[in-house]
Amino acid sequence: MNKKILQLAIPNIISNITIPLVGLADMAVTGRLESDVYIGAIALGAMIFNLIYWTFGFLRMGASGITAQAYGSKNKPEIAATLIRGLLVGGIGALLILLLQIPIAKTAFYFIDGSKEVEDFAQSYYYIRIWAAPATISLYAFTGWFIGMQNTKIPMLIAIVVNLLNVGLNVLFVFTFQMKSDGVALGTVISQYVGLAMALLFIRFKYHEYFSFIKIKTLIDSTALKNFFKVNRDIFIRTMSLLAVFTFFTSKSASANDQILAANSLLLQFLFIFSFLTDGFAYAAEALSGKYFGAKEFGKLRQSIIINFKWGAVITLVFTLIYWFGSESILQLLTNHAEVLNEASKYSFWVTLIPIVSVASFLWDGVFIGITATGKMRNSMLIAVFLVFFPSWYLLAPYYANHALWLAFILFLLTRGLTQTIMFKNMSSKLFSDYQ
């Protein structure tokens, strides 16, 4: 089982680690321009696209769990239908985003309370990057489908090419063509479409035989459609709740001042680094949990969960030590602006808690997605967001300002893991009844 988990997790870790590296590269590139407003512009622009694209995160997660179960039960027509349904939903969503890009921007910037200079650069960034929507959303569906097919090497190859290309284009456009934050946006657009072309080629040459089984009646099967939309509805609600936290976090940072916004944006990279690495094992949990659940091999399902959490404990220990001893050095790699570094250092101790309080929620997400227990995953998120994060902030903000924001965020991460652990324990006797 260790070998199977690592075969799935390691390619995911390699591909996922390139994602925060791109974020770090973006921060490092803009952090060396003449003003820190570019860091804030990228942060605000990224917040808007998190809101847009994370809305469609259900396509990746839903495709992963449903495909893995179909793979475990050897249901080839449903395997192909899952991808096609995801691409159809994603295509419609991308078209709507492009058609509504102006009202989306007006609404988003109405609620953002940043300086005028930062908002001007962020708007320019937005209107360029928005054209990556069809490619970005389609890649969610492709990535989830490949993971469900127990193949994490293809997403790894796509991610490596896309993200390395993105970094290279950012440096070219920003420093050679002097495009500043606009160059970062254009680099993202081009690299996303290269990734989409790669995904289509892999489908054409490796998985084309699955699509010979597809028929219209399979696509519109009422039971399968009901399950598809139920799973994706739950994940959508969960994702929107998560977005509410990150949007609120960034908005409150922006309303403080440009230095707080830049500092918090840099510190959030610590979470993204850890989460994307841990998600390598979470994705392995999605693939194996779905496969064993679909095949009704509940003993192997339980074994895979236990081993995944052991690996999670190892990663948590390593990153806690790295963040404890190296947070200041990491920050200095991201920017050379003394005022931003001084501000970030006031709150850097919070990032040492991130691995400890967040690891369980990341791994449980993988398990819940794989067995399509998405309703419970949704409920755990709602509890953490609306019963812990927001009340904590409003109670503590008048006294502790930005520290209150970080404390509320840490409590939010901790609550997710605790509630998911309790929920899984309550459902485990029923889940494993056939095995026991």
Cα–Cα dist 83/234, whole Å: 18
By residue range, what is the domain housing residue 195? 2-431
Confidence at residue 399, expressed as pLDDT on a 0 to 100 scale: 86
Higher pLDDT, 11 or 199: 199
Is residue 19 a part of any domain in this protein? yes
Specify burial of residue 268 (Cβ count, 10 A radius: 0-12, 13-18, 19+).
Answer: buried
Give the HSE-up count for residue 305: Cα atoms under 13 Å, Cβ half-sphere. 26
Q: Is the pLDDT of residue 431 over 70?
A: no
Q: How many CB atoms lie within 10 A of CB 7?
A: 14
Separation CA 177–CA 171 (nearest Å): 9
User: In this structure, is residue 372 part of a structural domain?
Assistant: yes
Residue 418: the pLDDT is 95
Residue 436 lies in a domain: no
Highest mean pLDDT among 3-12, 173-182, 227-236: 227-236
Q: Could you tell me if residue 362 is inside a domain?
A: yes
Per-residue tokens: 108: 């988003």
CB burial string 350-373: b at 16+ within 10 A, e below: bbbbbbbbbbbbbbbbbbbbbbbb
Q: Whole-prediction pTM value?
A: 0.78
pLDDT at 270: 87
Across residues 193-205, what is the average pLDDT?
93
pLDDT digits (tens, 9 = 90+) for 312-322: 999 999 999 99
Q: Which of 117-131, 341-355, 358-372 has the highest mean pLDDT?
A: 358-372
CA 146 to chain centre: 16
Residues in the chain: 436
* pLDDT, position 173: 84
Residue type, 10: I
Question: pLDDT confidence of 434, banded at 50, 70, 90?
Answer: very low
Residues 320-335 have a mean pLDDT of 83
Percentage with pLDDT > 70 across the chain: 90
Share of the chain above pLDDT 90, in %: 29
**Greater pLDDT, 377 or 296:** 377
pLDDT for 168:
86
Neighbours of 150 (CB within 10 A): 18
For 356-387, how does the pLDDT look when each residue is reduced to its tens digit (9 = 90+)?
A: 999 999 999 999 998 888 899 999 999 999 99
Alpha-carbon gap, residue 42 to 69, rounded angstroms: 39
Q: How does residue 32 score in pLDDT terms, banded at 50, 70 and 90?
A: low
Residue 162 DSSP SS3: helix
What average pLDDT does range 64-83 have in this prediction?
87
The average confidence (pLDDT) of the chain is 84
Residue 61 confidence class, pLDDT cut points 50, 70, 90:
confident
State residue 436's pLDDT score: 45
Separation between Cα atoms, residue 362 and residue 380, nearest integer Å: 12
Average the pLDDT over each of 28-37, 281-290, 326-335 and give the range with the smallest value.
28-37
pLDDT at 94: 93
3-class DSSP assignment, residue 32: coil
Closest CA to 104 of 57, 45, 56: 45
Whole-angstrom distance, CA of residue 330 vs CA of residue 352? 13
Within 13 A of 410's CA, how many CA atoms are on the CB side? 18
Segment 235-293, tens digit of pLDDT: 889 988 998 898 888 888 887 777 888 888 888 888 888 887 888 899 889 889 888 88
Q: How many helices (H) and strands (E) does the chain have?
A: 17, 0
Could you say which DSSP state residue 212 is in?
Answer: G
What is the per-residue pLDDT for 231? 87
Expressed in angstroms, the distance from the first to the final Cα of the chain is: 20
| Inter-residue contact 90 to 138 (CB < 8 Å) | yes
Rounded to whole angstroms, how far apart are CA atoms 102 and 108?
Answer: 10
Query: Which range in 88-92, 274-278, 296-300, 397-401 is most confidently predicted, on average pLDDT?
Result: 88-92
The total number of structural domains that make up the chain: 1
For residue 72, name the pLDDT band (cuts at 50, 70, 90).
confident
